[in-house]
Amino acid sequence: MEKLYRLLYPMRIVLITSRRGQEDNIMAAAWCFPLSRDPPLFGVSLTGSRHSYPMIKEGGCFGINLVAPEMKEAALLCGTRSGRDVDKFAESGLAKEEGEKIDCALVGESPVSIECRLADVVKTGDHYLVVGEAVNVTKRREAKGLYQKEGRDWVEV
């Protein structure tokens, strides 16, 4: 069957950071979107097979880090390798920054990082909608975003 979700593409690529104990992880996500203005809620849709999923559930928070065009290689690594096998902060060379309001790493190169406290997890078909309440935003600079059109076909806008 046709991939109906593709009708909504291109979608913005973000890096989702998570922490469980001493372990930090980063994954790429295109299914990330605002859900509510007040309270400020964001949703990220993950399959249960992502290493990030139990890390977010157990860690209780996550970071949404916007991706700028020059972060493409790092974002590809974060979207194709699993934190089960590799330390993606070390491998990508992305700078680890501490959240101000949450105990979670953020990506220092990101133009904007949103710190979220886990508010809910809803099973939505073959994915889990991870809902976070934004508790802090760090704006570092202006930059274009990267959007996924299809697979590795990404455009900057």
Ligand X SMILES: Cc1cc2nc3c(=O)[nH]c(=O)nc-3n(C[C@H](O)[C@H](O)[C@H](O)COP(=O)(O)O)c2cc1C
Q: How far is the CB of 142 from ligand X (least distance, A)?
A: 22
**Quick check: 17 binds ligand X (CB under 6 A)?**
no
Count the neighbouring beta carbons within 10 Å of the beta carbon of residue 29: 23
**Quick check: 19 binds ligand X (CB under 6 A)?**
no
- Dist CA 123 CA 1 (whole Å): 22
28 vs 102 by CB, closer to ligand X:
28
Q: How far is the CB of 155 from ligand X (least distance, A)?
A: 12
**Quick check: 79 binds ligand X (CB under 6 A)?**
yes
Of the candidate spans 21-29, 33-41, 102-110, 133-141, the one that interacts with ligand X by CB under 6 A turns out to be 21-29
Closest C-alpha to 44, from 11, 89, 3, 77: 11
Contacts of 32 (CB under 8 A, 6+ apart): 12, 14, 16, 42, 43, 44, 45, 64
Residue 77 host element (H or E) = helix 72-80
101 vs 149 by CB, closer to ligand X:
149
Report residue 142 as tokens: 């202006």
Among 19, 20, 28, 97, binds ligand X (CB under 6 A): 28
Contact residues for ligand X (CB under 6 A)?
A: 13, 25, 27-31, 45-47, 50-52, 79-84, 148
